[in-house]
């Protein structure tokens, strides 16, 4: 894979904070200026007021939300700002001045974008590109406006604040070393997944035909023999794995299956397919106490396809015990509690807003980490309740593509080829899947692989020999 440079903001130090504050000042100064104006045309409002204000807000939001992981998105407000300046330049009386300005704005947009997406190995050219126009505005145009009223100076101050913000950002951004073969995020990716751009046409078109997860779900009912799994569980409990059970084997088997069949870790968002690669997020609803009065809460545990059964067990058990031993609400409970205070109509509007933001990949990562509706798998155990597994629907909100429910163990007497009768133990396991992320053959192959793991669960004690990567 071709090596590129990745720029990011490691911490919000003085330069990054200055960039945000200067951009905020630019917007406030422009608002103050327009409040003193009257009889402005609609095109003027659109291109000279709303457009730069949108660029200001977008710049600050991206700086705080995506500065560490997706700084390349800051190219969007830069392009909006360049459009604003270009429209303004069309009103200049000198044709040469207009042409030079248009060339400069195009250069700013192209060079800044090329830099933040990693095609330029240094940000030094941006220092000159933002610094020299500032000097020109201060020395040349500033002298021409000496004696003007303060109100007439406000647009110039707004422009200077904008340039200073971009200069501060170009000084604050740092190059992050990237290992060879590491995927570099680019436009079109989300903060919780990378876009799959080489899938077959049927997978590209199907999300536009089957628009929701609820209308794209398939139901799979299967059973797994747990004879070997019972011996494996008994062996691990004797080794000190207190509480180790079928749930942890299923989780470890699913994680191992994602290493071989990474398509299971895809999801659909905004009518496009994405992959989480080596981040497997598993959600599960649990109770602090096994009683009908005990409230539900949701835990989310993150795994890697190379994790062993011990890693899966320890990590999942830590999350469960943390919820059960603390009397305080979890982060998810606090978020749900805050939403509960919002009146019904406002909450409905907020959810619609969140769905729209999720459609375009604009939800912040901290929110998708908390959300039980975002993840690789939602699993529920009916075994603890002593009932068969249900077929649980997929959620239209969020992007969880697979729901797994398993029931209690049951004994089945089967006749062998020689006519003898043998008693085997099974657990029923139901999967509800989003058919838009993989075809039936892919799902069937993955489930057959899980059957193979259940017949020899000791292979989960070692990391997989290879971890396959999903399509580019």
CA dist 347 and 397 (Å) reads 14
Query: In this prediction, what percent of the chain has a pLDDT beyond 70?
Result: 96
DSSP one-letter string for 48-93: IIIHHHHHHHHHHHHHHHHTTT-GGGGHHHHHHHHHHHHHHHTT-S
Q: Mean per-residue pLDDT for 255-263?
A: 97
CA proximity to 319, closest of 304, 330, 307, 308:
330
Cα 139 to Cα 145, 149, 160: the distances in Å are: 10, 18, 12
* Percent of the chain's residues with pLDDT above 90: 65
Q: Which of 59-73, 436-450, 455-469 has the lowest mean pLDDT?
A: 59-73
- Give the pLDDT of residue 4: 66
- The 10 Å Cβ neighbour count of residue 216 is 20
What is the tens place of the pLDDT at every residue in 17-73?
Answer: 999 999 999 999 999 999 988 888 899 999 999 999 999 999 999 998 888 888 999
| 87-105 confidence digits (pLDDT tens) | 989 988 889 989 998 999 9
Q: Does 141 have pLDDT greater than 80? A: no
pLDDT surpasses 80 at 142:
no
- Sequence length of the chain is 472
Residues 6+ apart with CB under 8 A from 183: 1, 194, 277
**Which band of pLDDT confidence, cut at 50, 70 and 90, is reported for residue 1?**
very low
Q: What φ, ψ does residue 277 adopt, rounded to 5°?
A: 55, -115
Residues whose CB is less than 8 angstroms from the CB of residue 1 and which lie 6 or more positions away in sequence, other chains included: 180, 181, 182, 183
Looking only at the bridges linking them, the beta strands covering 266-269 and 272-275 are antiparallel
Whole-number Å distance between alpha carbons of 296 and 464: 35
Q: What is the pLDDT of residue 464?
A: 96
User: Which residues does residue 409 pair with via DSSP β-bridges, in sequence order?
Assistant: 427
CA dihedral sign, ordered 345, 346, 349, 354: negative
CA 43/CA 459 separation, integer angstroms:
67
Smallest CA-to-CA distance from 110 within 97, 121, 126 is with 126
Supply the mean pLDDT for the chain: 90
- Confidence grade of residue 418 (pLDDT, cut at 50, 70, 90): confident
Up-side HSE of residue 281: CA atoms within 13 Å toward CB?
23
Contact by Cβ (8 Å): 202, 438:
no
pLDDT score for 328: 58
Helices (H) and strands (E) in the chain, counts: 16, 11
3-state class (DSSP) for residue 7:
strand
- Enumerate the domain spans of the chain: 6-176, 194-461
Domain 194-461 in CATH 3.40.50.1950? The answer is no
Is residue 3 scored above 70 in pLDDT?
no
Q: Token pair 């580019």 is at which residue?
A: 472
φ, ψ of residue 276 to 5 degrees: the values are -85, -5
3-state secondary structure of 174: strand
69 vs 304: CA distance, rounded Å: 19
Query: Which pLDDT tens digit goes with each residue over 297-329?
Result: 889 999 999 999 999 999 999 998 888 777 656
The pLDDT value given to residue 243? 92
pLDDT for position 291:
64
Residue 127 in this model has a pLDDT that exceeds 90: yes
């Amino acid at each position: 894979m071709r090596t590129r440079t990745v720029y990011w903001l490691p911490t919000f130090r003085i330069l990054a904070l200055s960039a945000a504050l200067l951009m905020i000042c630019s917007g406030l100064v422009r608002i103050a200026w327009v409040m003193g104006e009257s009889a402005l045309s609609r095109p003027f409002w659109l291109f000279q007021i709303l457009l730069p204000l949108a660029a200001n807000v977008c710049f600050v939001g991206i700086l705080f939300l995506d500065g560490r992981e997706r700084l390349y998105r800051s190219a969007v407000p830069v392009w909006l700002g360049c459009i604003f300046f270009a429209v303004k330049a069309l009103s200049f009386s000198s044709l040469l001045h207009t042409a030079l300005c248009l060339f400069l704005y195009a250069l700013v947009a192209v060079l800044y974008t090329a830099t933040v997406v990693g095609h330029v190995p240094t940000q030094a050219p941006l220092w000159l590109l933002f610094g020299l126009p500032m000097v020109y505005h201060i020395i040349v145009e500033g002298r021409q406006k000496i004696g003007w009223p303060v109100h007439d100076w406000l647009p110039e101050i707004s422009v200077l604040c904008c340039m200073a913000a971009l200069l501060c950002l170009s000084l604050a951004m740092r190059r992050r070393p990237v290992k060879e073969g590491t995927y570099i995020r680019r436009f079109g990716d989300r903060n919780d997944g990378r876009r799959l751009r080489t899938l077959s046409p049927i997978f590209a078109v199907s999300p536009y035909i089957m628009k929701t997860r609820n209308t794209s779900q398939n139901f799979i009912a299967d059973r797994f023999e747990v004879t070997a799994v019972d011996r494996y569980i008994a062996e691990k409990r004797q080794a000190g794995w207190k509480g180790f059970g079928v749930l942890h084997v299923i989780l470890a088997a699913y994680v191992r299956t994602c290493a071989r069949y990474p398509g299971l870790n895809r999801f659909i968002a905004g009518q496009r397919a994405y992959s989480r690669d080596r981040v497997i997020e598993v959600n599960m609803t649990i109770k602090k106490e096994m009683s009908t009065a005990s409230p539900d809460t949701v835990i989310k545990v993150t795994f890697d396809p190379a994790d062993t059964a011990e890693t899966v067990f320890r990590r999942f058990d830590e999350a469960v015990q943390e919820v059960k031993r603390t009397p305080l609400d979890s982060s998810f409970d606090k978020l749900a509690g805050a939403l509960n205070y919002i009146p019904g109509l406002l909450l409905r509007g907020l959810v619609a807003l969140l769905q729209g933001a999720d459609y375009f990949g604009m939800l912040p990562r901290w929110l998708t980490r908390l959300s039980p509706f975002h993840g690789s798998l939602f699993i529920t155990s009916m075994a603890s309740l002593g009932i068969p597994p249900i077929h649980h629907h997929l959620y239209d909100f969020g992007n969880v593509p697979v729901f797994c429910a398993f029931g209690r163990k049951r004994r089945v007497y089967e006749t062998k080829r020689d006519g003898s009768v043998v008693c085997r133990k099974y657990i029923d396991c139901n999967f509800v899947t989003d058919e838009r992320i993989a075809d039936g053959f892919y799902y069937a192959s993955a489930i057959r692989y899980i059957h193979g793991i259940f017949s020899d669960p000791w292979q989960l004690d070692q990391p997989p020999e290879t971890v396959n990567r999903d399509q580019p």
